[in-house]
Structure 1
Amino acid sequence: MLRKFPTKTLSADLQLAAVRAQFDKHGSALCNAAGLIDGDAGTARVLRLISRLREAARLDWATRRRLVDLHRLLSLDPVIDEFEPDLSSWVFLDPASPEVEELCLLTDRLYDLLVEIGELDDERDALALALPVQDAA
């Protein structure tokens, strides 16, 4: 059982708050899903990500990259880099199994989170562009 993320703390980083909320709710399931696909290495990957999220003051580029890598792993999309799992060790999953259905739901939720993070970036960029115009007036 994973420890819960502290919910009483306020974060100025809305993206970090969104990611923490997602992992607070689905962190154990994400660990199990990554472990199902990539064994102990997959589980360890999610646990390291959760540890980073606990210690973070903001959502940095490296953590974002790890979120994308996790999504690619859960999507069964081979990643061509140092974190590429050994495909020969992947368990063959029955598409009709409840585990695969849960895996698909978790993958969709993680994708939605990545989209939300991107939208928050767009909103912040739009606000930053609007500020000089307001100062000039």
Structure 2
Amino acid sequence: MNLDSISIFAPDLAQEIPPDPILAYVSAHHEALWHAARLLGGYESARLVDRCAELLAQDRRVTSRTRMMLDQILAMLSLEEVDNPNLPYMGHFAVIDPLDPVVEEICLLTDGLRHELARTVSEALLRPDA
């Protein structure tokens, strides 16, 4: 009997563990999220995006703290608090031309983040160890 020395467990065939969808999304869209946050809420909002991205990269998972930050980012992107006079969003939003292509990009970022957050919640509910 002649055994072939090629193993199906060769390192180049190893499957990579898929990254958390939120980590992948924030990593892939970090710059766009940062600019959208700066446009809609100023540099304080942009720093929120940076801090959230840093914590996600450090923890390699969504924690309660990063989930709260992601919810704040989503609320800002979706203009949930745009009419709150105690928050800076109204002033920033008012200077954006509705015909500016950045509006469409912000909408796409918002939809993408909302989708990934919903997907993460769905997957957590389906996981037996959750």
TM-score above 0.5:
yes
The aligned residue for residue 81 of structure 2 is 78
Name the larger-Rg structure: 2
The aligned residue for residue 106 of structure 1 is 109
Post-superposition offset of 1:45: 0.7
Question: Which 4+ runs in 1 deviate beyond 4 A?
Answer: none
The aligned residue for residue 91 of structure 2 is 89
Q: TM-score, normalised by structure 1?
A: 0.72
Q: TM-score, normalised by structure 2?
A: 0.75
Post-superposition offset of 1:25: 1.1
Structure 1 SS opposite 2:62: coil
Letter in 2 for 1:64: R
Name stretches of at least 5 consecutive residues in structure 1 with no aligned partner: 1-9, 130-137
Q: In structure 2, do the counterparts of structure 1 residues 103 and 57 end up closer, same or farther at CA, with 3 Å as the change threshold?
A: closer
Post-superposition offset of 1:57: 4.2
Letter in 2 for 1:89: G
**Aligned residue pair count:** 111
Structure 2 SS opposite 1:59: coil
Note the aligned Cα RMSD (angstroms): 2.2
Q: 1:122 aligns with which of 117, 125, 128?
A: 125
What percentage of aligned pairs have identical amino acids?
A: 30
